[in-house]
Amino acid sequence: MSAVAPSIMWFRRDLRLGDHPALLAAAERDSAAVALYVLDERLGDRSGKPRLAFLHACLRALDEQLDGRLLVVRGDPVDVVPRVAAAFGSDSVHVSADAGPYGRERDKAVEAALSDVEFVRTGSPYAVTPGRVTKGDGTPYKVFTPFSRAWAEHGWRKPADTDASTVDWIDPSTKDGGPRRVRIPEGPAVDAALPEAGEHAALAAWEAFRDEKLPDYAKRRDRPDLDGTSRMSAYLRWGCVHPRTLLADLGPGDTTYRAELAWREFYADVLWHRPESARENFNPKFDALRHDTGKAAAARFEAWCAGETGYPIVDAGMRQLLAEGWMHNRVRMITASFLTKDLHVPWWLGARHFMTHLVDGDLASNQHGWQWTAGTGTDAAPYFRVFNPTTQGRKFDPDGAYIRRYVPELRDHDGDVHEPKGASGYHAPIVDHAEERKVALDRYAEL
């Protein structure tokens, strides 16, 4: 056991050692630290299998970086964290601040349970911690564009200079009592092909994108048939890389990618101010919106989940989700619009399905992305946007390469892949888009 009482470095959505402000704060406090991760069953029960499997793989990668010195404990953090601190005689617990509704309440309870042990929040999973950017009168922004301007003007610090040698990591086997260390789970078996996990993989993926694809990102990002996006979302979700690291690599001309990071920060800020919006309409006016119910509506929802709607771009997206635990962002909007405005199913059912299958499932980004498409969220008049799935397919997958990749029934179809009439083995459209668009606009007009 170290003669010096170590700090506790409690990892959560920050599974890395580089550019880690909380780790820097721990180092400034003590020369030694205990690396802790708590397998919180309340979060595990809510997580979809792909996300949970990726998390466990990221934990194994972090443990490897720490030479096997990651203390993994299963239980309620309110009970576990104070017991770990007591076992090591620690007088401080360091974390990256959690901006989510559950995380904020959990941290408040842990801080109270720690009693005489200091609970130190440093940084967050965002370049600008949610709640920091407000209007001149102190109220939060509800529209992205003015938020993004204020966010950029606020700015952020340069990446923190940290790595595995920033502190002396304590071997958890020296712990005297306290909660039992458990093995990192192998993770639930999933059919989806998950990305390589961990900080090293995240940095390699970013460097490859930055060097090869970032210059054409603005032109290619909306094309699901082209591999033009960064696919950094899963790594950002678990903090294998910090957004500040990415922002530091962007040049003055990389405005489109910077804006995508700003959208992530905007939705986190919205959820910070309105935590109930994770489950409820951001704009309560839409609580009165009529939705389809009954067996027919349930059957159409199941067809959407399975990628069997008869609309090729929708089906390709839904099957990509099942195959990879990920979906191209443009297609996320198309599939969400189809569910809410063609099938008249409430957004929260689609959002729940996405969270079940997305490896990058992030509560703020997912829920508010869905609300933006459904017209219930943070935008002036989004309910007028009803994506025509066929038109969207022609525009963003002009040769049908994306559709053929994920819809095998259409791979050998010689005709129009966007309207594959008579294609052998492929489903007929379950609804008529033109009719359902009118129904959707009429229902919105009732409000």
How far is residue 211 from each of residues 214, 215, 233, 235, 249, measured CA to CA in Å? 7, 8, 18, 18, 10
What phi, psi does 169 have (nearest 5°)? Answer: -80, 130
pLDDT in tens, 298-354: 999 999 999 999 999 999 999 999 999 999 999 999 999 999 999 999 999 999 999
Is the pLDDT assigned to residue 195 strictly greater than 50?
A: yes
Buried b (16+ CB within 10 A) or exposed e, 405-418: bbbebbeebeeebb
pLDDT in tens, 246-259: 999 999 999 999 99
Asked whether the CA dihedral 301, 307, 309, 311 is positive or negative, the reply is: positive
When pLDDT is averaged across residues 411-427 and rounded to a whole number, the result is 92
- Cα gap 430→303, rounded to integer Å: 8
CATH hierarchy code of domain 1-124: 3.40.50.620
Residues 90, 174: contact at Cβ < 8 Å? Answer: no
Both structure tokens of 43: 């979060």
> What confidence score (pLDDT) does residue 176 get?
82
pTM: predicted TM-score of the whole model, two decimal places: 0.95
Q: Rounded to an integer, what is the distance from CA 367 to the centroid of its chain?
A: 10
**Which amino acid is located at 387 in the chain?**
F
- Cα gap 419→429, rounded to integer Å: 9
Residues 107, 133: contact at Cβ < 8 Å? Answer: no
Q: Assign 71 to helix, strand or coil.
A: strand
- Cα gap 281→377, rounded to integer Å: 7
Element (H, E) at 81: helix 77-88
- Give me the residue spans of the domains in the chain: 1-124, 125-159+199-273, 278-445
Q: Does domain 278-445 have CATH number 3.30.413.10?
A: no
Residue 438, CA atoms < 13 Å, CB-side half-sphere? 4
pLDDT in tens, 34-45: 999 999 988 876
Both structure tokens of 353: 């399905």
- Cα gap 153→156, rounded to integer Å: 9
* Contacts for 57 with CB less than 8 Å, ≥ 6 apart: 187, 194, 197, 198
Element (H, E) at 234: helix 233-237
* Domains 1-124 and 125-159+199-273 alike in fold: no
The alpha-helical segments, DSSP class H, found in 89-216 are 101-114, 144-154, 199-212
> What confidence score (pLDDT) does residue 386 get?
94
Is the pLDDT assigned to residue 424 strictly greater than 90?
A: no
CA neighbor of 231 nearest in space, from 202, 253, 264, 258: 202
Provide DSSP, 235-289.
HHHTTSS-HHHHHHH--TT-HHHHHHHHHHHHHHHHHHH-GGGGTS-SSGGGGG-
- Cα gap 81→208, rounded to integer Å: 38
Both structure tokens of 315: 């089906």
- Cα gap 200→202, rounded to integer Å: 5
DSSP classification of residue 345: -
Element (H, E) at 92: strand 92-95
Polymer length of the chain? 447
Is the pLDDT assigned to residue 401 strictly greater than 60?
A: yes
> What confidence score (pLDDT) does residue 346 get?
98
Neighbours of 99 (CB within 10 A): 22
CA neighbor of 336 nearest in space, from 325, 347, 328: 347
What phi, psi does 71 have (nearest 5°)? Answer: -85, 110
Looking at every residue in the chain, the average pLDDT score rounds to 95
Both structure tokens of 160: 């923190």
DSSP classification of residue 22: H
Both structure tokens of 16: 């890395």
- Cα gap 313→394, rounded to integer Å: 9
pLDDT in tens, 20-79: 999 999 999 989 999 999 999 888 767 799 999 999 999 999 999 999 999 999 999 999
Residues 1, 144: contact at Cβ < 8 Å? Answer: no
Q: Does domain 125-159+199-273 have CATH number 1.25.40.80?
A: yes
